[in-house]
Amino acid sequence: MNGRRKRGTAVAEAEKKSEFWGWVKAIAIALILAFVVRTFVMTSFEVRGVSMVPTAHDGERFIVNKLSYQFGEPERFDLIVFHATEEDSYIKRVIGLPGDTIRFEDDILYINGEQIEEPYLEEAKAAYSGPAYTEDYSFEETVPENHVFVMGDNRPASLDSRVIGPVNEDEIIGKVGLRFWPVSEFGYMD
């Protein structure tokens, strides 16, 4: 009888060890997958400041697709996150693409001399009480190859390419995809 009990105890201990190592392996695989996804596929981004109001507000959080521009190029009006400095990343809207000329006159955007509508600014322009939502501005050269010209949607209060110059595509982290915080604003960003 003692032999059976010892074997039963040994089997139970072996099963516990096996279960323990199974959990360790599962957790290790999950951590490795999370690292790979966060490093190469997507990341989260929290908006700091008011430069993208009304599109994005301080404290809102987004999922940023890091693969978007591995297989394609930024498109006009994409919302992107990029490294502005070694410490800071910004969220802005792509306005100009390589080879474009950018000009604002009387609160109207002109790209390559053609008037371009900005429907995402209608609400902000209607609520603004200043002289022009976007002051007259002209980028004196064309947007260089491998660069984009970006602007915040809150034009009177945005530090963007009008000050920092065009953004090198190598500095782009990815395309803004999904707002997940606050939950009441959950949804895909166009």
In sequence order, the β-bridge partners of residue 109 are 104, 116
17 part of the active site: no
Q: Pick the catalytic residue: 51, 68, 158, 161?
A: 51
CA atoms within 13 A on the CB side of 73: 10
Q: Of all residues in the chain, what percent are helix, strand and coil, respectively (each to 5)? A: 35, 30, 40
d(CA 88, CA 175): 17
51 part of the active site: yes
The secondary structure of 60-78 as a DSSP string is -EEEEETTTTTSS---TT-
Dihedral of CA atoms 96, 160, 46, 66 in degrees, nearest 10, equals: 30
CA of 141: how far to CAs of 13, 109, 113, 155, in Å? Answer: 74, 16, 13, 21
Q: Pick the catalytic residue: 68, 92, 158, 161?
A: 92
Burial class (CB in 10 A: 0-12, 13-18, 19+), 12: exposed
Active site residues: 51, 92
